[in-house]
Amino acid sequence: MNPIILGLDIGGANLKAYDSTGRAEVVPFELFRNPDHLADEVRGLAARMATPSAVVVTMTAELCDCFESLREGVLRIVSSLESIYQPGILRIWGVDGAFHTTTTIRNEPALAAASNWKALGDCMAAEHFADSSGLVIDIGSTTTDILAVSNGKLISDSRTDLDRLQSSELVYLGTLRTPLCAVVDEFKFRGRKTPVMRELFATVGDVYWTLGELVDAPEYLGTANGRPGTRGESRNRLARMLGLDFEHFTEAEATDLAAQADKQIVRILEKAVATVSGKLPGSKPERIVVSGSGAFLARKIAEKVVPADRIIDLESIWGPEKTSAACAVAIVRLAAEKLKV
């Protein structure tokens, strides 16, 4: 029997896990609200996975503002993991494209910070771009990663989130948690240009619940007002953006506002895609891999760049559970090649 590798992707809003038996799971956990509960949450998640011989980890949660610094965030996450697993079986993925012991990461915390994009890029480059060039567009609840890949290699000089923001490889825009007022300045409403209220009244999730591109999630309460993530509730949240409520805001108006917001979201991401494409031979992708919980949006953008038959939807290959935990899957696949387990 092959040894079991468990991959963990520790984010600020979600914990993602995948083990080499094929089980994947995503658990909402707002670490920025409860950093002291991280070990308990990971322990509960791990209990539902196969018992591992090795645990490989990538992270982005160190950026949470419950930590005074990125260094503190990385060290707190490592300490939480060491309270669950023997350090000898833990390996932390680094932005240098290698796995490291926890001792190394304690000495060089910057190696581990915001490293999951590198895992996904390296994995996709090897598996889907061995003899071609293109992009990986991974859209999650909070962020979008746009990665240039060519001939089996990730094309990026980035080592930090700042590098990636400046290169357009990272767009802090997702399909669920992004405040809508950070995306849209105004709507055309009842025949007039109308500025939005710059308050956390609605998020991008409300746009896509309204448009039917996100499935209603009554159990999800991480919305702007703490009420369920459904189309009906989204109508009221969108209304608040214009100082209204559902009694004075029709379903048709909600749909129209959501469509306007979607166009702006697509424009923002198209601009970033064009910038990253400039790194490719000929500045044009031959194919595009789309992934993440926002793959529906990634596909919409990809279709404007390449023919539909040159778009690879990772969900069609991996299935929805694994695709939602794509970075955890990627580090397990990389570990199977790079580590002796």
Residue range 246-269, pLDDT digits in tens: 999 999 999 999 999 999 999 999
341 pLDDT more than 80: no
Count of beta carbons in the 10 Å neighbourhood of residue 315? 20
Give the pLDDT band of residue 2 (cuts 50, 70, 90).
Answer: confident
Decide which of 2 and 141 is more confident: 141
Which among 240, 265, 272, 263 has a CA at the least distance from the CA of 253? 240
What is the reported pLDDT for 234?
98
- Burial class from Cβ neighbours inside 10 Å (0-12, 13-18, 19+) for residue 123 reads buried
Which among 170, 134, 137 has a CA at the least distance from the CA of 152? 134
Domains 5-116+320-338 and 180-266 share a fold: yes
- Burial class from Cβ neighbours inside 10 Å (0-12, 13-18, 19+) for residue 304 reads exposed
Average pLDDT over residues 306-313: 97
pLDDT tens-digit readout, 203-262: 999 999 999 999 999 999 999 999 999 999 999 999 999 999 999 999 999 999 999 999
199 pLDDT more than 90: yes
CATH number for the domain whose boundaries are 180-266 = 3.30.420.190
pLDDT tens-digit readout, 127-154: 999 999 999 999 999 999 999 999 999 9
CATH number for the domain whose boundaries are 5-116+320-338 = 3.30.420.40
8 A C-beta contact, residue 136 and residue 145: yes
DSSP H helix total and E strand total for the chain: 12, 14
Average pLDDT over residues 321-328: 92
What is the reported pLDDT for 340?
74
Helix (H) or strand (E) holding 28: strand 24-28
Report the b/e string of 194-208 with b at 16+ CB within 10 A: eebeeeebbbbbbbb
What is the reported pLDDT for 254?
98
What is the reported pLDDT for 168?
98
8 A C-beta contact, residue 276 and residue 167: yes
What is the reported pLDDT for 273?
98
Average pLDDT over residues 167-192: 98
Which among 26, 17, 15 has a CA at the least distance from the CA of 293? 26
Phi, psi at residue 204, to the nearest 5°? -60, -30
pLDDT tens-digit readout, 56-107: 999 999 999 999 999 999 999 999 999 999 999 999 999 999 999 999 999 9
Measured in residues, the chain has a length of 341
Phi, psi at residue 2, to the nearest 5°? -70, 145
What DSSP state is assigned to residue 281?
A: G
What is the reported pLDDT for 1?
63
8 A C-beta contact, residue 335 and residue 9: no
Q: What is the mean pLDDT of the chain?
A: 96
Domain residue ranges in the chain: 5-116+320-338, 180-266
